[in-house]
Structure 1
Amino acid sequence: MTLKEELAAFYHRCGFADTADRQACTVPVYTGCLLVPLPNIETRHRYLKYHDLHHVATGYSTGRIGEGEVSAWELGTGSMFHSPLLGTMNLIALSTGLVLEPKRMWRAFRRGCRSRNLYPQTMRTKIDSEYWPDLPALRQELLESRRDPLPSALRSIEFGAYAATAMLIHALIAIPAVCTRVVTDIGLGYSFFKVIKPAKRNDLY
Protein backbone atom coordinates (compact mmCIF):
# COMPACT_ATOMS: atom_id res chain seq x y z
CA MET A 1 0.00 0.00 0.00
CA THR A 2 1.04 3.59 -0.53
CA LEU A 3 1.50 5.85 2.49
CA LYS A 4 -1.82 7.55 1.73
CA GLU A 5 -3.52 4.17 1.82
CA GLU A 6 -1.67 3.21 5.01
CA LEU A 7 -2.82 6.44 6.65
CA ALA A 8 -6.42 5.94 5.50
CA ALA A 9 -6.35 2.39 6.89
CA PHE A 10 -4.94 3.73 10.17
CA TYR A 11 -7.79 6.25 10.46
CA HIS A 12 -10.31 3.52 9.71
CA ARG A 13 -8.86 1.14 12.33
CA CYS A 14 -8.85 3.86 14.97
CA GLY A 15 -12.27 5.23 14.08
CA PHE A 16 -10.87 8.65 13.19
CA ALA A 17 -12.26 11.05 10.62
CA ASP A 18 -9.52 12.56 8.48
CA THR A 19 -11.01 16.08 8.39
CA ALA A 20 -13.63 16.60 11.12
CA ASP A 21 -11.04 16.75 13.88
CA ARG A 22 -9.36 19.70 12.17
CA GLN A 23 -12.56 21.76 12.25
CA ALA A 24 -13.29 21.43 15.98
CA CYS A 25 -12.45 24.34 18.28
CA THR A 26 -11.11 22.00 20.95
CA VAL A 27 -9.60 18.54 20.98
CA PRO A 28 -9.76 16.07 23.90
CA VAL A 29 -6.29 15.28 25.23
CA TYR A 30 -5.38 12.51 27.66
CA THR A 31 -4.31 14.00 30.98
CA GLY A 32 -4.12 11.26 33.56
CA CYS A 33 -7.60 9.89 34.22
CA LEU A 34 -9.33 12.64 32.26
CA LEU A 35 -9.85 13.67 28.67
CA VAL A 36 -9.33 17.42 28.91
CA PRO A 37 -10.48 19.67 26.03
CA LEU A 38 -7.60 21.86 24.86
CA PRO A 39 -7.56 24.45 22.04
CA ASN A 40 -7.26 22.88 18.58
CA ILE A 41 -4.44 25.18 17.52
CA GLU A 42 -3.00 25.76 14.06
CA THR A 43 0.29 24.05 14.93
CA ARG A 44 -1.61 20.84 15.60
CA HIS A 45 -3.42 21.14 12.26
CA ARG A 46 -0.16 21.63 10.39
CA TYR A 47 1.60 18.62 11.86
CA LEU A 48 -1.26 16.20 12.56
CA LYS A 49 -0.83 14.10 9.42
CA TYR A 50 2.88 13.66 10.07
CA HIS A 51 2.26 12.82 13.73
CA ASP A 52 -0.22 10.17 12.61
CA LEU A 53 2.35 8.77 10.18
CA HIS A 54 4.71 8.47 13.14
CA HIS A 55 2.10 6.22 14.77
CA VAL A 56 1.92 4.15 11.60
CA ALA A 57 5.69 3.90 11.22
CA THR A 58 6.57 3.19 14.86
CA GLY A 59 3.60 0.97 15.66
CA TYR A 60 2.73 2.91 18.80
CA SER A 61 -0.99 2.89 19.56
CA THR A 62 -3.42 5.77 19.98
CA GLY A 63 -4.27 4.79 23.57
CA ARG A 64 -2.97 6.67 26.57
CA ILE A 65 0.25 4.66 26.73
CA GLY A 66 0.77 4.68 22.97
CA GLU A 67 0.31 8.44 22.72
CA GLY A 68 2.87 8.80 25.48
CA GLU A 69 5.27 6.51 23.61
CA VAL A 70 4.98 8.30 20.29
CA SER A 71 5.43 11.62 22.10
CA ALA A 72 8.53 10.33 23.89
CA TRP A 73 9.83 9.05 20.55
CA GLU A 74 9.21 12.44 18.91
CA LEU A 75 11.00 14.23 21.74
CA GLY A 76 13.92 11.88 21.23
CA THR A 77 14.03 12.79 17.55
CA GLY A 78 14.21 16.48 18.46
CA SER A 79 10.63 17.71 18.12
CA MET A 80 11.14 20.26 20.91
CA PHE A 81 13.97 21.89 18.98
CA HIS A 82 11.97 21.93 15.75
CA SER A 83 8.92 23.54 17.37
CA PRO A 84 8.68 24.32 21.11
CA LEU A 85 4.89 24.39 20.85
CA LEU A 86 4.89 20.98 19.22
CA GLY A 87 7.27 19.74 21.90
CA THR A 88 4.96 21.07 24.61
CA MET A 89 2.10 19.05 23.14
CA ASN A 90 4.40 16.02 23.29
CA LEU A 91 5.02 16.73 26.98
CA ILE A 92 1.28 16.74 27.74
CA ALA A 93 0.90 13.24 26.28
CA LEU A 94 4.18 12.08 27.82
CA SER A 95 2.95 12.95 31.31
CA THR A 96 0.16 10.38 31.17
CA GLY A 97 2.52 7.75 29.79
CA LEU A 98 4.98 8.41 32.59
CA VAL A 99 2.30 7.71 35.19
CA LEU A 100 1.21 4.47 33.51
CA GLU A 101 4.38 2.97 31.97
CA PRO A 102 7.52 5.02 32.67
CA LYS A 103 9.92 2.35 31.38
CA ARG A 104 8.15 2.22 28.04
CA MET A 105 8.42 6.01 27.78
CA TRP A 106 12.17 5.82 28.35
CA ARG A 107 12.59 3.08 25.74
CA ALA A 108 10.56 5.06 23.20
CA PHE A 109 12.64 8.17 23.89
CA ARG A 110 15.91 6.27 23.41
CA ARG A 111 14.57 4.79 20.19
CA GLY A 112 13.71 8.29 19.02
CA CYS A 113 17.26 9.45 19.72
CA ARG A 114 18.38 7.11 16.95
CA SER A 115 15.54 8.03 14.59
CA ARG A 116 14.31 10.90 12.44
CA ASN A 117 10.90 12.57 12.42
CA LEU A 118 8.79 14.01 9.61
CA TYR A 119 8.42 17.51 11.00
CA PRO A 120 11.16 19.40 9.08
CA GLN A 121 9.90 21.10 5.93
CA THR A 122 12.05 18.92 3.67
CA MET A 123 10.56 15.74 5.13
CA ARG A 124 7.01 17.06 4.93
CA THR A 125 7.56 17.98 1.29
CA LYS A 126 8.76 14.45 0.57
CA ILE A 127 5.66 12.99 2.21
CA ASP A 128 3.36 15.31 0.28
CA SER A 129 5.09 14.45 -3.00
CA GLU A 130 4.93 10.70 -2.24
CA TYR A 131 8.71 10.36 -2.23
CA TRP A 132 8.57 7.08 -0.30
CA PRO A 133 6.56 4.44 -2.18
CA ASP A 134 5.44 2.43 0.83
CA LEU A 135 5.68 1.97 4.59
CA PRO A 136 8.83 -0.22 4.63
CA ALA A 137 10.70 2.49 2.72
CA LEU A 138 9.54 5.15 5.18
CA ARG A 139 10.51 3.01 8.16
CA GLN A 140 13.95 2.45 6.71
CA GLU A 141 14.41 6.21 6.47
CA LEU A 142 13.04 7.07 9.92
CA LEU A 143 13.50 4.29 12.44
CA GLU A 144 16.86 3.91 14.14
CA SER A 145 18.49 5.22 10.98
CA ARG A 146 21.23 7.26 12.67
CA ARG A 147 23.66 7.10 15.55
CA ASP A 148 22.70 9.01 18.67
CA PRO A 149 25.01 12.07 18.67
CA LEU A 150 24.88 12.41 22.47
CA PRO A 151 26.09 10.03 25.21
CA SER A 152 23.56 8.13 27.31
CA ALA A 153 24.29 10.22 30.41
CA LEU A 154 23.25 13.43 28.65
CA ARG A 155 20.19 11.72 27.23
CA SER A 156 19.20 10.65 30.75
CA ILE A 157 19.45 14.26 31.92
CA GLU A 158 17.45 15.44 28.90
CA PHE A 159 14.72 12.86 29.51
CA GLY A 160 14.64 13.74 33.20
CA ALA A 161 14.11 17.40 32.32
CA TYR A 162 11.32 16.48 29.92
CA ALA A 163 9.72 14.21 32.53
CA ALA A 164 9.81 16.87 35.26
CA THR A 165 8.36 19.50 32.94
CA ALA A 166 5.72 17.07 31.70
CA MET A 167 4.56 16.30 35.23
CA LEU A 168 4.41 20.01 36.08
CA ILE A 169 2.24 20.64 33.01
CA HIS A 170 0.18 17.60 33.97
CA ALA A 171 -0.49 19.05 37.42
CA LEU A 172 -1.36 22.49 36.04
CA ILE A 173 -3.94 20.96 33.68
CA ALA A 174 -5.22 18.00 35.67
CA ILE A 175 -5.76 19.53 39.12
CA PRO A 176 -8.17 22.28 37.97
CA ALA A 177 -9.87 19.79 35.64
CA VAL A 178 -10.39 17.26 38.44
CA CYS A 179 -11.73 19.94 40.79
CA THR A 180 -14.13 21.17 38.12
CA ARG A 181 -15.26 17.61 37.41
CA VAL A 182 -15.91 16.85 41.10
CA VAL A 183 -17.86 20.07 41.67
CA THR A 184 -19.89 19.58 38.49
CA ASP A 185 -20.77 15.94 39.22
CA ILE A 186 -21.76 16.71 42.81
CA GLY A 187 -23.87 19.57 41.48
CA LEU A 188 -25.59 17.07 39.17
CA GLY A 189 -26.56 14.96 42.17
CA TYR A 190 -23.86 12.28 42.24
CA SER A 191 -22.51 11.27 45.63
CA PHE A 192 -18.93 12.21 46.48
CA PHE A 193 -17.88 8.56 46.61
CA LYS A 194 -19.37 7.86 43.20
CA VAL A 195 -17.59 10.88 41.77
CA ILE A 196 -14.15 9.82 43.00
CA LYS A 197 -14.58 6.10 42.26
CA PRO A 198 -12.09 5.21 39.50
CA ALA A 199 -13.63 3.94 36.28
CA LYS A 200 -12.38 0.80 34.59
CA ARG A 201 -10.35 1.86 31.55
CA ASN A 202 -10.23 0.10 28.20
CA ASP A 203 -8.19 2.76 26.41
CA LEU A 204 -4.80 2.41 28.09
CA TYR A 205 -2.80 0.15 25.76
Structure 2
Amino acid sequence: MAAKEILVVDDEVGIRELLSEILFDEGYRVHLAENAIQARDFRNRQVPDLVLLDIWMPDTDGVSLLKEWVRQNLLTMPVIMMSGHGTIETALEATRIGAVDFLEKPIALQKLLDAVAKAIRGGEMPNNCQIPASGGRMVKLGKTNVWEVVEKFPLPLDLPLREARDHFDSLYFNYHMHKENGNITRVAQNAGLERTHLYRKLKQLDVKFVKKGLDES
Protein backbone atom coordinates (compact mmCIF):
# COMPACT_ATOMS: atom_id res chain seq x y z
CA MET A 1 0.00 0.00 0.00
CA ALA A 2 1.38 3.41 -1.01
CA ALA A 3 2.44 5.74 1.78
CA LYS A 4 0.05 8.58 2.55
CA GLU A 5 1.24 11.98 1.36
CA ILE A 6 1.19 15.01 3.66
CA LEU A 7 1.83 18.62 2.68
CA VAL A 8 3.28 20.76 5.50
CA VAL A 9 2.82 24.50 4.98
CA ASP A 10 4.71 26.69 7.45
CA ASP A 11 6.99 29.72 7.06
CA GLU A 12 9.25 28.60 9.93
CA VAL A 13 11.98 26.30 8.65
CA GLY A 14 12.44 24.70 12.07
CA ILE A 15 8.78 23.70 12.25
CA ARG A 16 8.83 22.31 8.73
CA GLU A 17 11.93 20.23 9.38
CA LEU A 18 10.67 18.94 12.73
CA LEU A 19 7.26 17.91 11.37
CA SER A 20 8.92 16.38 8.31
CA GLU A 21 11.20 14.20 10.45
CA ILE A 22 8.40 13.08 12.76
CA LEU A 23 5.99 12.23 9.96
CA PHE A 24 8.67 10.56 7.83
CA ASP A 25 9.56 8.31 10.76
CA GLU A 26 5.88 7.32 10.94
CA GLY A 27 5.92 6.17 7.31
CA TYR A 28 4.33 9.19 5.62
CA ARG A 29 5.62 10.86 2.47
CA VAL A 30 6.12 14.52 3.34
CA HIS A 31 6.14 17.55 1.06
CA LEU A 32 7.09 21.02 2.30
CA ALA A 33 5.91 24.52 1.42
CA GLU A 34 7.14 27.67 3.12
CA ASN A 35 4.31 29.93 1.96
CA ALA A 36 0.92 30.02 0.27
CA ILE A 37 2.46 30.38 -3.19
CA GLN A 38 4.29 27.06 -2.90
CA ALA A 39 1.21 25.43 -1.32
CA ARG A 40 -0.97 26.59 -4.23
CA ASP A 41 1.53 25.27 -6.75
CA PHE A 42 1.65 21.86 -5.07
CA ARG A 43 -2.16 21.60 -4.80
CA ASN A 44 -2.55 22.52 -8.47
CA ARG A 45 -0.27 19.62 -9.38
CA GLN A 46 -1.64 16.94 -7.06
CA VAL A 47 -3.95 16.22 -4.15
CA PRO A 48 -2.23 15.21 -0.90
CA ASP A 49 -3.91 12.95 1.64
CA LEU A 50 -3.60 15.70 4.25
CA VAL A 51 -2.43 19.30 4.62
CA LEU A 52 -0.92 20.72 7.81
CA LEU A 53 -1.45 24.46 7.32
CA ASP A 54 -0.01 27.24 9.46
CA ILE A 55 -2.36 30.17 10.08
CA TRP A 56 0.14 33.03 10.41
CA MET A 57 2.26 33.37 7.28
CA PRO A 58 3.78 36.58 5.84
CA ASP A 59 2.21 36.66 2.38
CA THR A 60 -1.16 34.93 2.59
CA ASP A 61 -2.39 33.58 5.90
CA GLY A 62 -3.63 30.02 6.23
CA VAL A 63 -7.28 30.93 6.74
CA SER A 64 -7.27 33.00 3.52
CA LEU A 65 -5.68 30.10 1.64
CA LEU A 66 -8.28 27.74 3.05
CA LYS A 67 -11.07 30.05 1.84
CA GLU A 68 -9.40 30.25 -1.55
CA TRP A 69 -9.36 26.46 -1.89
CA VAL A 70 -13.04 26.34 -0.93
CA ARG A 71 -13.98 28.94 -3.57
CA GLN A 72 -12.01 27.06 -6.22
CA ASN A 73 -13.43 23.66 -5.21
CA LEU A 74 -9.90 22.52 -4.34
CA LEU A 75 -10.58 21.61 -0.73
CA THR A 76 -10.85 17.92 -1.54
CA MET A 77 -8.43 16.79 1.17
CA PRO A 78 -8.50 17.16 4.97
CA VAL A 79 -6.70 20.22 6.35
CA ILE A 80 -5.41 20.63 9.90
CA MET A 81 -4.67 24.22 10.91
CA MET A 82 -1.69 25.06 13.12
CA SER A 83 -0.85 28.19 15.09
CA GLY A 84 1.19 29.36 18.05
CA HIS A 85 -0.88 32.52 18.38
CA GLY A 86 -4.35 31.32 17.46
CA THR A 87 -7.50 32.07 19.40
CA ILE A 88 -10.60 29.96 19.90
CA GLU A 89 -12.43 32.24 17.47
CA THR A 90 -9.78 31.64 14.82
CA ALA A 91 -9.94 27.88 15.36
CA LEU A 92 -13.74 27.91 15.09
CA GLU A 93 -13.61 30.03 11.93
CA ALA A 94 -11.15 27.61 10.34
CA THR A 95 -13.31 24.57 11.17
CA ARG A 96 -16.42 26.36 9.89
CA ILE A 97 -14.66 27.07 6.60
CA GLY A 98 -13.58 23.47 6.15
CA ALA A 99 -10.60 22.54 8.32
CA VAL A 100 -10.98 19.22 10.14
CA ASP A 101 -8.89 20.12 13.19
CA PHE A 102 -6.77 22.77 14.88
CA LEU A 103 -3.42 22.20 16.59
CA GLU A 104 -1.85 24.76 18.89
CA LYS A 105 1.95 25.15 18.83
CA PRO A 106 4.07 23.82 20.37
CA ILE A 107 2.37 20.62 19.26
CA ALA A 108 2.68 17.56 21.50
CA LEU A 109 4.02 14.58 19.56
CA GLN A 110 1.20 12.16 20.36
CA LYS A 111 -1.45 14.80 19.76
CA LEU A 112 0.05 15.49 16.33
CA LEU A 113 0.15 11.81 15.36
CA ASP A 114 -3.38 11.18 16.63
CA ALA A 115 -4.76 14.18 14.74
CA VAL A 116 -2.96 13.21 11.53
CA ALA A 117 -4.11 9.57 11.68
CA LYS A 118 -7.70 10.59 12.43
CA ALA A 119 -7.81 13.17 9.64
CA ILE A 120 -6.44 10.75 7.06
CA ARG A 121 -8.86 8.01 8.13
CA GLY A 122 -11.71 10.49 7.84
CA GLY A 123 -10.59 11.51 4.36
CA GLU A 124 -10.69 7.96 3.03
CA MET A 125 -13.89 6.92 1.26
CA PRO A 126 -13.88 3.31 0.04
CA ASN A 127 -15.98 2.58 -3.03
CA ASN A 128 -18.32 0.32 -1.06
CA CYS A 129 -18.69 2.77 1.86
CA GLN A 130 -22.22 3.13 3.19
CA ILE A 131 -23.74 6.36 4.48
CA PRO A 132 -26.98 6.48 6.52
CA ALA A 133 -29.80 7.97 4.47
CA SER A 134 -33.19 9.27 5.56
CA GLY A 135 -35.47 6.72 7.13
CA GLY A 136 -32.56 4.71 8.51
CA ARG A 137 -31.74 3.11 5.15
CA MET A 138 -28.21 2.73 3.82
CA VAL A 139 -26.95 4.05 0.49
CA LYS A 140 -23.87 2.52 -1.12
CA LEU A 141 -21.42 5.18 -2.17
CA GLY A 142 -19.54 4.44 -5.37
CA LYS A 143 -18.36 6.29 -8.42
CA THR A 144 -21.66 5.85 -10.25
CA ASN A 145 -24.23 6.73 -7.58
CA VAL A 146 -22.98 9.85 -5.79
CA TRP A 147 -26.13 11.76 -6.73
CA GLU A 148 -28.23 9.13 -5.00
CA VAL A 149 -26.48 10.05 -1.78
CA VAL A 150 -26.93 13.78 -2.43
CA GLU A 151 -30.65 13.30 -3.02
CA LYS A 152 -31.26 11.11 0.03
CA PHE A 153 -28.86 12.45 2.65
CA PRO A 154 -31.03 14.47 5.09
CA LEU A 155 -29.23 17.82 4.80
CA PRO A 156 -30.27 21.03 3.00
CA LEU A 157 -27.54 20.89 0.37
CA ASP A 158 -28.93 23.76 -1.71
CA LEU A 159 -27.83 26.30 0.93
CA PRO A 160 -24.58 28.29 0.86
CA LEU A 161 -21.66 26.16 2.08
CA ARG A 162 -21.32 27.86 5.47
CA GLU A 163 -25.03 27.49 6.30
CA ALA A 164 -25.03 23.86 5.15
CA ARG A 165 -22.01 23.19 7.38
CA ASP A 166 -23.90 24.65 10.34
CA HIS A 167 -26.75 22.21 9.71
CA PHE A 168 -24.31 19.31 9.49
CA ASP A 169 -22.41 20.41 12.61
CA SER A 170 -25.65 20.66 14.56
CA LEU A 171 -26.71 17.17 13.43
CA TYR A 172 -23.23 15.79 14.18
CA PHE A 173 -22.93 17.19 17.70
CA ASN A 174 -26.53 16.40 18.66
CA TYR A 175 -25.88 12.81 17.60
CA HIS A 176 -22.71 12.52 19.68
CA MET A 177 -24.24 14.27 22.70
CA HIS A 178 -27.10 11.77 22.62
CA LYS A 179 -24.76 8.82 21.99
CA GLU A 180 -22.51 9.72 24.94
CA ASN A 181 -25.38 10.75 27.24
CA GLY A 182 -24.06 14.30 27.40
CA ASN A 183 -20.54 13.35 28.48
CA ILE A 184 -18.48 16.31 27.23
CA THR A 185 -15.15 14.54 27.71
CA ARG A 186 -16.11 11.63 25.46
CA VAL A 187 -17.78 13.88 22.88
CA ALA A 188 -14.63 16.01 22.72
CA GLN A 189 -12.53 12.86 22.23
CA ASN A 190 -14.85 11.60 19.48
CA ALA A 191 -14.77 14.96 17.68
CA GLY A 192 -11.04 15.51 18.17
CA LEU A 193 -11.61 18.89 19.87
CA GLU A 194 -10.41 20.47 23.05
CA ARG A 195 -13.26 20.72 25.59
CA THR A 196 -13.07 24.54 25.59
CA HIS A 197 -13.49 24.54 21.80
CA LEU A 198 -16.35 22.07 22.10
CA TYR A 199 -18.23 24.21 24.66
CA ARG A 200 -17.95 27.19 22.31
CA LYS A 201 -19.10 25.10 19.36
CA LEU A 202 -22.14 23.74 21.20
CA LYS A 203 -23.11 27.22 22.36
CA GLN A 204 -22.66 28.60 18.85
CA LEU A 205 -24.89 25.86 17.37
CA ASP A 206 -27.39 26.11 20.24
CA VAL A 207 -26.93 22.41 21.01
CA LYS A 208 -28.52 21.83 24.41
CA PHE A 209 -26.54 20.09 27.12
CA VAL A 210 -26.68 19.73 30.89
CA LYS A 211 -23.43 20.59 32.61
CA LYS A 212 -24.01 18.51 35.72
CA GLY A 213 -21.93 15.33 35.62
CA LEU A 214 -20.77 15.88 32.04
CA ASP A 215 -17.08 15.58 32.89
CA GLU A 216 -17.40 12.10 34.33
CA SER A 217 -15.42 9.52 32.36
TM class by shorter chain equals under 0.3
TM-score, normalization by structure 1: 0.27
Q: Specify which structure has the bigger relative contact order, considering alpha-carbon pairs within 8 angstroms and separated by 6 or more residues.
A: 1
Structure with greater proportional strand content:
2
